[in-house]
């Protein structure tokens, strides 16, 4: 009988121990923890952007013409002055010839205005003056003879008056011819002839420029990255024929969301990635911060110009890239995982682990990035903070816990 009660007591004790241990284990909240530590902390922001040359060169068709020949291909790197393509120049040559004719006509008109007429006109005036002089001399001779005869009564006074009238007419004709020889054109007419010549010369210069552009040459060294026509193709006036640029001098036009604009500054470092070349990274810096906010799709963004410091002819214009800017960096910041940080009524706090309990501890934060946050005050190096539970239960101050990985 005593042995039976002994076994019963032993079993009861084991049951009590089991359920006591189970109760204690169940009440301790399994918590993932992180240690407060000193480590480098950088704050970054990423967005999309588009590559563009620093100095883009566009060549357009100066006239509507057929493309006679194309001497380059997309991707070619060419020196300055290289012949790129040739357009049919028949119409351009005809316009140059017409402009030359207009200049010569304007030159002749100006020469006539400044020389008191054309050579033919000047010769005609000289002959007219000579005739008028003969007429005047003859009228003077006749007047002198009749005046002498009138003293003897051989000539009537009316004859003398008629002779005097003829002399006056002859002298008037001579004076008019001499005046015409000296100032046929007024100053306004001379100025108009000068303006007409200037206009004709400008037209000829424009025609010659168009003719020169039918032979398209590279204005500077660079890479042909866009070629829009082929030989024998008709190109309308103004059509974009090709684009070229020095691909060692490029920039990115990036689009940062409005809330991020305030932390951007000229000179901040940039990392650039292009999906077409995984593993490659280019470096740059902010060259110009936004001057306005615009709508980009469904986003309100500011445009940022980024200079590519190590452009190597591999980033093609108009490609879409991802850019990441570092807005702040600390070499040795006291930090915790961002997921350990919580907020209450505008104040930030963490659950600090004291032994096997949690203590609500308010902190002052500094720089923050996607994974880490700097702690200015409230914690010290080596402290432990709770990140969360493995069961999904909320963290609470004073709850008994056990640390798990």
The 3-state secondary structure of the chain reads CHHHHHHHHHHHHHHHHHHHHHHHHHHCEEEEEEECEEEEEEEEEEEEEEEEECCCEEEECCCCEEEEEECCCCCCEECCCCEEEEECCHHHHHHHHHHHHHHHHHHHHHHHHHCCCCHHHHHHHHHHHHHHHHHHHHHHHHHHHHHHHHCCCCCCHHHHHHHHHHHHHHHHHHHHHHHHHHCCCCHHHHHHHHHHHHHHHHHHHHHHHHHHHCEEECCCCEEEEEECCCCCCEECCCCEEEEEECCCCEEEEEEEEHHHHHHCCCCCEEEEECCCCCCCCEEEEEEECCCCEEEECCEEEEEEEEEECCCCCCCCCCCEEEEEEEEEEEEEEEEEEHHHCEEECCEEEEEEEECCEEEEEECEEEEECCCEEEEEECCCCCCEEEEEECCCCCCCCCCEEEEEC
Considering the entire predicted model, what is its pTM? Answer: 0.59
Q: What is the pLDDT of residue 76?
A: 93
Considering the segment(s) 61-89+214-245 as one domain, its CATH architecture is Beta Barrel (2.40)
Walk along the chain (405 residues) in steps of 10 and give the mean pLDDT of each run: 63 63 63 91 91 94 92 94 93 91 89 70 69 80 78 78 83 72 73 90 92 92 94 94 94 95 94 94 96 92 96 90 91 90 91 92 88 91 92 88 85
Q: What pLDDT score was predicted for residue 9?
A: 67
pLDDT of 168 reads 85
The pLDDT tens digits for 56-91 are 999 999 889 999 999 999 989 999 999 999 999 888
Residue 306 confidence (pLDDT): 97
pLDDT of residue 183: 67
CATH fold of 28-42+332-404: 2.40.420
Domain spanning 44-54+248-329 has what CATH number?
2.40.30.170
> Which pLDDT belongs to residue 323?
97
- Give residue 27's pLDDT: 66
Predicted local confidence at residue 19, as pLDDT: 54
């Amino acid at each position: 009988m005593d042995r039976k009660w002994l076994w019963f007591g032993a079993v009861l004790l084991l049951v009590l121990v089991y359920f006591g241990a189970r109760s204690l284990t169940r009440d301790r909240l399994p918590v993932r923890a992180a240690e407060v530590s000193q480590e480098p902390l950088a704050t970054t922001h990423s967005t999309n952007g588009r590559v563009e040359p620093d100095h883009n060169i566009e060549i357009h068709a100066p006239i509507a013409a057929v493309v006679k020949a194309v001497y380059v291909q997309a991707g070619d790197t060419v020196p300055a002055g290289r012949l790129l393509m040739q357009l049919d120049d028949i119409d351009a040559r005809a316009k140059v010839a017409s402009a030359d004719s207009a200049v010569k006509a304007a030159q002749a008109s100006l020469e006539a205005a400044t020389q008191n007429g054309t050579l033919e006109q000047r010769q005609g005036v000289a002959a007219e003056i000579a005739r008028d002089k003969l007429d005047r001399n003859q009228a003077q001779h006749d007047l002198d003879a009749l005046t002498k005869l009138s003293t003897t009564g051989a000539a009537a006074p009316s004859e003398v008056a008629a002779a005097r009238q003829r002399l006056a007419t002859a002298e008037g004709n001579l004076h008019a011819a001499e005046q015409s020889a000296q100032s046929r054109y007024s100053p306004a007419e001379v100025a108009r002839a000068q303006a007409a010549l200037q206009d004709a010369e400008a037209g000829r210069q424009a025609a010659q420029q168009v003719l020169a552009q039918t032979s398209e040459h590279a204005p500077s060294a660079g890479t042909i990255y866009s070629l829009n026509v082929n030989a024998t193709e008709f190109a309308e006036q103004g059509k974009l024929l090709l684009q070229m640029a020095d691909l060692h001098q490029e920039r990115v036009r990036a689009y940062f969301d409005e809330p991020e604009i305030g932390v951007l500054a000229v000179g901040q470092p940039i990392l650039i990635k292009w999906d077409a070349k995984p593993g490659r990274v280019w470096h740059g810096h902010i060259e110009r911060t936004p001057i306005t906010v615009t709508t980009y799709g469904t986003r309100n963004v500011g445009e940022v110009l980024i200079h590519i410091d190590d452009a190597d002819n591999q980033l093609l214009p108009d490609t879409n890239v991802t850019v990441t800017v570092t807005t702040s960096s600390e070499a040795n910041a006291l930090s915790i995982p961002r997921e350990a940080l919580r907020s209450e009524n505008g104040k930030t706090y963490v659950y600090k682990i004291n032994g096997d309990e949690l203590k609500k501890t308010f902190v002052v934060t500094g720089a923050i990035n996607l994974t880490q946050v700097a702690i200015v005050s409230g914690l010290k190096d080596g402290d432990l903070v709770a990140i969360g539970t493995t069961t999904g239960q909320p963290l609470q101050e004073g709850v008994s816990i056990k640390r798990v990985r």
